[in-house]
C-alpha cells in the first residue's frame, strides 16, 4: 500500500526544510536511542545531546527508545532489537555514540549491516558517524557484513574443534543417559504423595496442574510414567 503525502509550502515550514536531506527526513520516522549500563547512570546527558543535535539540524524525534542494560547483551534481546524489526526504509536512528549500540565491535558491525539492508540511517553525534545510502556507507556495510561473517565462521570452527576434542577424550556430550526416565530430574519430584491425595479426592488433571503451577500435559506425563506405572508393577507382583 502506498500513501501519498501532500506538503504545503509556506514561509513558516519552508524554514524547517533547509536542505533536501531534511526534507526527506520529515517523510520518515526519526528515533532517538539511549542506553545506559546500570541504574546509577542517567539517560539525561544522552537525551540532551540528541535534542541539541536535532535543534541545530531542524529535526524532530518521533519516538524515544531508552533502556538500562549492558551493551554486551545481544541486541535481539534488547529494546534495540524490537526497534530494528519495526524500522522502515528511510527511517533514522540517532544516538550519542556507536558504543551505545553495543560494546563489541562485531556486534556494532552486525547492527549497522542490518540497518543497511533495511535502508535505515544511523547517525551518531560524538563519533560524527553517518550511515546512509551513499557509496561510502555501502562500502562500510560490505566490510561490516564480511567481518561479522568471518567472526561467525571462526566461532563455529572453534566450537566444532572443542566438541571433537571432547569426543576424542571419551566425554559424553548432550543429555546424560537415562535422564528422561529418572524421576529425580522431573519438576514434580517429591510431589508424588500430594498428587496421589488430590487424585483420591477426585481432582481433575487440570485442577492438579493449577495447584502445582505446571501444565496439564506435565501432570499427565508424570502420572503415566511413574504413578500409573508403579501401580501396574504392584498389581503384577500381587
Kindly state the average pLDDT of the residues 35-61: 89
Kindly state the average pLDDT of the residues 125-130: 85
Q: What is residue 94's predicted lDDT score, i.e. its pLDDT?
A: 95
Q: What is residue 156's predicted lDDT score, i.e. its pLDDT?
A: 80
- Strand partners of residue 130: 123
pLDDT of residue 112 exceeding 50, the answer is yes
Give the least confident one: 79-83, 190-194, 199-203.
190-194
Percentage with pLDDT > 70 across the chain: 75
Query: Is residue 76 domain-resident?
Result: yes
Range of the domain at 214: 186-237
Kindly state the average pLDDT of the residues 102-125: 86
Q: What is residue 234's predicted lDDT score, i.e. its pLDDT?
A: 40
pLDDT, tens digit, 9 for 90 and up, residues 7-41: 343 444 434 444 544 544 456 899 999 999 887 77
Q: What is the mean pLDDT of the chain?
A: 77
Residue 237 is placed in which grid cell?
507382583
> Are 130 and 18 found together in one domain?
yes
Kindly state the average pLDDT of the residues 152-166: 81
Q: What is residue 105's predicted lDDT score, i.e. its pLDDT?
A: 77
> Are 19 and 121 found together in one domain?
yes
> Are 130 and 203 found together in one domain?
no
Query: Is residue 164 domain-resident?
Result: no
Closest CA to 106 of 48, 151, 73, 39: 151
Q: For the chain, what's the residue count? A: 238
> Are 114 and 214 found together in one domain?
no
> Cell 568471518, residue?
150
DSSP string, 133-184: SSHHHHHHHHHHHHHHHHHHHHHHHHHHHHHHHHHHTT---SSPTTTTT-GG
* CB contact at 8 A, 75 and 35: no
pTM for the predicted model, two decimal places: 0.53
> Are 39 and 142 found together in one domain?
yes
Confidence of residue 55 (pLDDT cuts 50, 70, 90): very high
Confidence of residue 3 (pLDDT cuts 50, 70, 90): very low
Query: Is residue 4 domain-resident?
Result: no
Maximum average pLDDT range among 16-30, 145-159, 205-219: 205-219
Cα separation, 58 vs 17, in Å, equals 8
User: In which region does residue 90 sit, left (phi positive, over 0), alpha (psi from -120 to 50) or beta (all else)?
Assistant: left
Cα separation, 222 vs 211, in Å, equals 15
Q: Which comes out higher in pLDDT, residue 18 or 142?
A: 142
Confidence of residue 96 (pLDDT cuts 50, 70, 90): very high
> Are 55 and 141 found together in one domain?
yes
> Are 23 and 120 found together in one domain?
yes
Confidence of residue 166 (pLDDT cuts 50, 70, 90): confident
Residue 14 is placed in which grid cell?
519552508
Total of domains in the chain = 2
β-bridge pairing 121-124 and 130-131:
antiparallel
Amino acid at each position: 500500500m502506498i500513501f501519498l503525502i501532500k506538503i504545503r509550502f509556506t514561509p513558516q515550514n519552508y524554514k524547517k526544510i533547509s536542505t533536501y536531506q531534511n526534507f526527506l527526513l520529515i517523510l520518515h520516522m526519526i528515533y532517538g536511542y539511549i542506553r545506559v549500563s546500570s541504574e546509577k547512570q542517567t539517560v539525561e546527558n544522552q537525551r540532551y545531546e540528541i535534542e541539541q543535535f536535532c535543534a541545530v539540524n531542524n529535526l524532530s524525534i518521533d519516538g524515544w527508545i531508552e533502556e538500562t542494560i549492558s551493551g554486551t547483551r545481544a541486541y535481539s534481546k534488547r529494546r534495540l532489537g524490537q526497534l530494528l524489526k519495526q524500522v522502515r526504509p528511510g527511517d533514522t536512528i540517532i544516538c550519542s555514540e556507536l558504543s551505545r549500540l553495543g560494546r563489541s565491535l562485531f556486534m556494532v558491525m552486525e547492527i549497522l549491516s542490518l540497518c543497511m539492508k533495511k535502508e535505515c540511517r544511523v547517525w551518531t553525534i560524538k563519533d560524527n558517524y553517518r550511515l546512509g545510502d551513499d557509496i561510502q556507507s555501502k562500502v562500510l556495510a560490505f566490510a561490516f557484513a564480511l567481518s561479522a561473517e568471518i567472526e561467525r565462521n571462526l566461532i563455529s570452527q572453534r566450537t566444532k574443534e572443542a566438541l571433537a576434542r571432547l569426543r576424542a577424550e571419551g566425554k559424553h556430550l548432550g543429555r546424560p543417559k537415562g535422564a528422561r526416565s529418572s524421576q529425580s530430574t522431573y519438576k514434580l519430584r517429591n510431589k508424588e504423595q500430594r498428587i496421589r491425595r488430590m487424585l483420591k479426592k477426585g481432582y481433575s488433571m487440570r485442577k492438579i496442574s493449577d495447584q502445582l503451577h505446571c501444565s496439564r500435559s506435565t501432570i499427565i506425563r508424570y502420572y503415566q510414567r511413574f504413578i500409573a506405572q508403579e501401580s501396574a508393577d504392584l498389581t503384577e507382583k500381587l
